[in-house]
Amino acid sequence: MSCRASMTEAKYLKYKDPKQPIAQRIKDLMNQMTLEEKIGQMTQIDRSVASNEIIKKYMIGSVLSGGGSVPAKQASPFTWIDMVNDFQKGALSTRLGIPLIYGIDAIHGHNSVYKATIFPHNVGLGLYTYTRNLNRDPVLVKKIGAATALEVRATGIQYAFTPCIAVCRDPRWGRCYESYSEDPKIVKLMTEIIPGLQGDIPTGSRKGVPFVGGQDKVAACAKHYLGDGGTHLGANEGDTITDTKELFDIHMAAYYDAVVKGVATVMASYSSWNGVKMHSSRLLVTDFLKNRLKFKGFVISDWQGIDKITTPEHANYTYSIISGMNAGIDMFMIPHNYTEFIDGLTYLVKNKFISMARVNDAVKRILRVKFTMGLFENPLADYSMAKYLGSKEHRDLAREAVRKTLVLLKKGKFPEKPLLPLPKKASKILVAGSHADNLGYQCGGWTIEWQGLSGDITDGTTILSAVKKTVDPKTQVIYNENPSENFVKSYNFDYAIVVVGELPYAETSGDDMNLTIPEPGPSTIKNVCGSVKCVVVLISGRPMVLKPYLNTMDALVAAWLPGTEGQGVTDVLFGDYGFTGKLAHTWFKSVDQLPMNVGDEHYDPLYPFGFGLTTQPRNNL
């Protein structure tokens, strides 16, 4: 009797044995799973509605933090770890003890977490790789991926919804700053962030098999599949109206590389292709991504993505579940109405509207990622990782990234008399502008909260404080956010630094048909630059309308959304390092030209793709 019992126990534990091949572990576990347990694995809920008990009751497979969904304001890494571990204990106490995977948007560093390192947004990171033949190795983004993975793990989280490998073809799109470039070749290069996040795939790995190399790495997510950067008029969640060739040449290019590099997951896009919602496109999700590209990880929906299959949203939820499932979505981000999803899917499978084979395909893919990550062996988070959050090494890396992502658009009013680099020794200098002393504006959207914030929102260095740290101790730095013309004239300044730009936004709220610098930006430029030599530093998630102000400025720097390390801006302004950045997005003259991309027949930009003036570091002068 005891012999038989031990044999049964040994068989039951086969899926928990790390020595077994992953395929055998998946098979053994799935043979023991009920339909309810399988559907639980396919369900991802937000932390705000999750608890140890809920996870146990519904056998939930995944929890996420939506934008700004945190356990407490300014929560420490230990508070995060306690929360994630508590959820995990709920999963481990279920009949089969399948660990859950916790996901979060880590778009430019671990951006929801207080005191994390905030790296420049992708719009800046794409440009530093530009060379004539595009052969430069994007080592920097790989390092950023590795640093981000450590900071995400510092809070107990194992899954990051990044990178966005959209190809932004129209800066009116509110997510353009999440895109590395309008050029698919550059976006393809930047998939090197994936081995940074996940680790380098072992030599000889089968194409398309997910890989996550240990407890200091996270599962990555290539998004948003497919064509999100090519929608009509740049509308977020809009329709990409194009033929198959253009869709594949421009928007699919980076997905080939992501799959080859072992990306663990792919997120479906809210957008449509020629009127067909991506969340219901069997052709692109199953036939192409899974069957043709041999992607073996799992496909996840976006936040309430299946609700948006219908107009109005959630109008026919039964249809949405069938459509999303049959398209090939494996895990469903159902942040709040998860019981409706679970009940609906259970009914549809039991009544044969959705096949058991489709359910098994989804669960097999989810388990493959979990086994690959070592979640069964190491389900609980490690408190010793907390030291990586906002570490000096990561801040130094972010500062380096800022330096390399700045683009010098104008050096001076006269070529023979460049204003840059600025002298550190001066009698009196003015720093002005709404963005000069505002860390939240400097970081942009997807920072601490989904839409971003104003003010002193986390640890970091504003451009104003960086200027004060950089100049000679005898140089007087005067700050006035929006000075009058009289104020500027009355002080006899040597020169001025004006920092203006866009206010933070994310997704649809960032869609903008005008792309003008908001007031008081233009007034500050006019008042300051009309009265004293000035360099304008533009903080923005995309090219903006510049033509009306260009003649007033002496020098102009596109600083994009640099993140927490403002010292990277002053490193280059004052000549400790040279300007090297080249535009990875075309800078238009007028919004009437949009969309306009390099290679277009009527290409007439203000600054062309690849443009960027250079300077030498002072010690080379």
Q: What residues act catalytically?
A: 302, 507
Alpha-carbon dihedral sign for residues 260, 266, 271, 275: positive
CA 349-369-144 angle, 5° bins: 135
Q: Characterize 367-389 residue by residue with b for buried, 16 or more Cβ atoms within 10 angstroms of its Cβ, and e for exposed.
A: bbbbbbbbbbeebebeeebbebb
Alpha-carbon dihedral sign for residues 566, 573, 181, 235: positive
Distance CA 272, CA 136 (A): 34
Map residue 306 onto helix, strand or coil: coil
β-pairing, 265-268 vs 298-300, is parallel
Beta-carbon neighbour count of residue 611 at 10 Å?
A: 18
Map residue 434 onto helix, strand or coil: coil
Q: Where are the beta strands (DSSP E) in 262-402?
A: 265-268, 272-273, 276-277, 298-300, 332-333
HSE, CB side, 13 Å, CA atoms: give it for residue 455.
Answer: 3
Distance CA 571, CA 146 (A): 24
Distance CA 221, CA 159 (A): 8
Q: Which two tokens stand for residue 74?
A: 């300014």
**Residue 98: C-alpha distances to residues 121, 193, 298, 417, 490 (Å):** 35, 29, 16, 67, 70
Taking the alpha carbons at both ends of the chain, their separation in whole angstroms is 86
Contact 338, 61 (CB under 8 A): no
**Residue 117: C-alpha distances to residues 148, 398, 410 (Å):** 8, 7, 30
**What dihedral do alpha carbons 316, 321, 322, 328 form, nearest 10°?**
140
- Characterise 333 by phi-psi region: left (phi > 0), alpha (psi -120 to 50), beta (else): beta
Spatial strand order of the sheet with 159-160 comes to 159-160, 101-104, 62-65, 43-46, 332-333
Map residue 299 onto helix, strand or coil: strand
Distance CA 195, CA 213 (A): 9
Backbone angles phi, psi at 46, to 5 degrees: -75, 150
Return the amino acid letter for 129. T
Distance CA 138, CA 158 (A): 24
Distance CA 621, CA 605 (A): 32
Q: Residue 230: name the closest of 285, 280, 297, 171 by CA.
A: 171
Spatial strand order of the sheet with 428-432 comes to 407-410, 555-560, 534-539, 495-501, 428-432, 476-480
Contact 518, 537 (CB under 8 A): no
